[in-house]
Amino acid sequence: MKTIDLGRLDYLTAWDVQRRVVDDVLNGHEDTLILVEHEPVLTLGANFHEGNLLLSAAEYRQKGIDVVTTDRGGDVTYHGPGQLVMYPIFDLRRHGQDLHKWMRDLEETVIVGLTSWGINGHRFPPHTGVWVDDPPAKIAAMGVKIRKWVSQHGIALNCDNPLDEFKLIVPCGIHEHGVTSLSNQIGTNVSVEDAKQPMIKAFQTVFFAEW
């Protein structure tokens, strides 16, 4: 697995990088994990409902938050500083060629990664993503697109990002449950940099342990 660390980068520029890497993987290159920390942005997925935006686009811009329509699945979510976004550009023909399995394996990757901080992550059907606690709060959101069995988009893991921005939307269209972060869960700061190596290791464990 190749890893590309984009540092802190705006969403649209990172999306262009994704597209180039997808073309590479389609042409036979190795599976590639892109890591990035985005500038503040709301991304609207294929299942977006207008009512899940609580402000107008102009009001979001006044707060320094871009609004971008994407081609991933899911509804609306927030990305911003303090959140580790992971784009696994993988050829699913090497990993079961099954979209349901792919989503569950992405969840498993986060669950495995969270054990590095002693956090017990879990699934919460029918909602996609990784959750903690009871009542549940989402710590990692997911949305993907598959092109010719190569994956795009992926996972957003809340590390030490302020959570107030999520109050400006209905995150992933879910009214009744909140969001949390690594830092909130363990009571000490966990930065994006702190999270990168544990999550890279989790990807290697879930997808490449047999290698």
Active site (catalytic) residues: 172
Helix or strand or coil: residue 88?
strand
- Residue 89's nearest CA partner among 168, 166, 177, 30 is 30
Q: How far is CA 109 from the centre of its chain?
A: 11
DSSP assignment string, 176-205: S-EE--HHHHHTS---HHHHHHHHHHHHHH
94, 31 Cβ separation under 8 angstroms = yes
> Is 173 within 8 Å of 51 (Cβ atoms)?
no
Q: What is the rounded (10 degree) CA torsion for 154, 71, 101, 182?
A: 30
